[in-house]
Structure 1
C-alpha cells in the first residue's frame, strides 16, 4: 500500500469515527419556503428540524445512526416544489419534513409516493393531500398537523356565537391553503345558518389592496375571515387602518409570525387567528426550548411542529427497527410516538389524530391565546 492510499484510508476512518460517514447517517430533507414572501415559515421549519436532529444524535441517534438534515427551498411555489421533490428523490433521500404550503405539498406528494419516500408535512392543512393519498393507496404521505376541515368545524360555531349578527365577508388568496381554509369555514358558517355578504378571491403578491378595502367598506362589512398568508392579510389591515376603517379580521395559522405585525402595523391590533395549543408552555418542550434559547431563536409558529416531525420520523424508524419508509409509515399508524408537542398518533390516512386549536389575538405587537 502506498503512502497516499494509507493517508486516504486514515482520513476516511477519522470521518467515520466522527459520524460523517454517509452509511452511518439517516438523511431527512426539510422542504419549504426558504425564500420568498413566506420565508419566515421556512426558517421555522429549518431551525426546528436541525435542533431536533441535534437532540436525537446527542441521545445516540436512531437505530445506531445519526440523523442528518438537508434543506431544500420550494419558495411556496407548486412548480418549484415538484422540481425539489424530484431532486430529493434523485439525491436518494427517503424521508421528508415538509412541505409547508399546501399548494406545494399536494403536487410534491405525488413524486414522493411514486418513489416510496415518506413525506410528513408539519404545516400543510388542505385535506386533499392525505385524501388523495388514501384514495391512491399511497401509504408514505402523512401529516403532523390538523386538517382544514377540523379547523373549520372548530372555528365556524365560534364565529357564529361571537360575530353571527355582524356583516361577514370571506376572502381568500386563491391558493390551495387559503381557498381551502376559507371554503371550509364558509361551509361551517352556512351550515350554522350564517350567510356572508361577500365571498371573493384576491390576487396574492400585490401591494395595493385599497380596492378590496373599499369594497368591504361599501358593503358595511364588520368581520372578515381571510384564508391566506400573513403578507396579504397584513397589507389589507394596514391599508384599512390608513382609512380609519375598523374591521375585525380573523385568519388561520399562517399569521403566527412576527412578520404579520411588521406588515400590518397598527392594523394588526386585535386580529384573531386559530392555531394549535402553544407547546412552548408544556413540559414536553422544556429541553427543546433550552436549545432554541442557546441559538437565540424564538420557536414560534411551525417551529415545534417541524421539530416534532423529525422526532416522529425517527421514532417511527426506531419502532420499525428499519429505515424503510413503508415500514416506518406502517409503524407510525399502529402506535404513538413521543414528541416535543406531546404524544402523537396517526390515522389510516396518515393524518394526526384529534387535533386541537386555540384562538389567538394580536395585541401590543405580539400574539397570545385569547382569554376565555
Structure 2
C-alpha cells in the first residue's frame, strides 16, 4: 500500500512551523499511543505512521529532501525502518515528546530527584501591623535532613547500595509491541538505590519531623489574602531534589474604630448637635495617635473631612493614603422636661430658616405633588 503524505498524517499544512508539527504529533500520538490502546493493532500502526512522519518533518534536512523528492528521496537515506529513525533512535524522539508524561526518555538516564512539597503558613496580624509592616519570627513544622544518617536513609556506618534490578539507573526497560520503553524501577521506586540496613532514627526515609524558626519581614500595606513567598523554605526534596517553597498567607484583624478602603483609612466620629451647629475643635484618633481637627459651624451629619497622608502605605510603592473622617451628628435622647422646653422654644424662634436642607426638600415635594 502506498504511503500517505507525511503532512496529511500529522494533519498540518506544508508550510507548518516546527512548533506546529511538534504540537500536532504530540496530540495525535497521545491519542494513538499503545499504552492507551492495548491490543489495538490499528492504533499501533497509526502510531508507527505518526512517528515516521514526525521523524522526517522534525528534521530540517530530511524535510527539505521530502518536500523536493517525496518518499522516494528518503529511500535508503535514513528514513523510517524497524531499526530506527536515521541518526537518532525512536527513544530520543519519544523522550523529547513524552518524557514528562510517561516518565520515559532513552539512554538509561537516571530519574531526577523529587522536589519537596510547598508549605502554607497562616499568619494573623493587627490592623496597625498591616499598615506599617513588622518583623517577626514564625515556627514552621516540617521535615529536615536526618542528622543520624546525613539524609542517606542508611544506618550510620553503612550506605545505600545500587539497585540490582535497574543497576542503579532508576529505570527499567520493557517492550510494548513494536516499541521499547522505560519506566521507573519498581524495586527502588526510581531512586536507583536500595537500603539493606535502614537508619533507626528516620526508618530509612532520610528525613525527620521537626520545626524551624524563620525571621519574617512583613512589608507595610499588606491586606488579607496577600501571600509572601519564601523560596526553598518548604519541605525538603527526596533523592537529592530541591526543597519546596513556603507561602505565608496574611489575615488582618478587624479594627474597633478604623476601616480600610484601598490605601485610605475610614473613621466615623460622633459629634453632638451643638458641636455640629456652632462648630468646634475635635480630637480625632489616627493610626499614629490623636490629632486636632476643626469642624466648621453648620456641619451636616455624614460630612467627610480628610487628613492627608494619615492612611496606609502603598504596598511595594511610595506614599500613603489619607484618613477620611466621617462626622456623624447624634440626635439627643432621654431629654429632661427643661431640655424639651428649650428645644421647642428654639424651633419656634428659628422657624424654617435654620433648616435650609429640609426647606429645600419640601419645596421640591410641593412642586411634584402640589
TM over 0.5: no
Higher helix share: 1
TM-score (norm 2): 0.23
TM-score of the pair, normalised by structure 1 = 0.22
Larger Cα Rg: Structure 1 or Structure 2?
Answer: 2
Structure ranking higher in strand proportion: 2
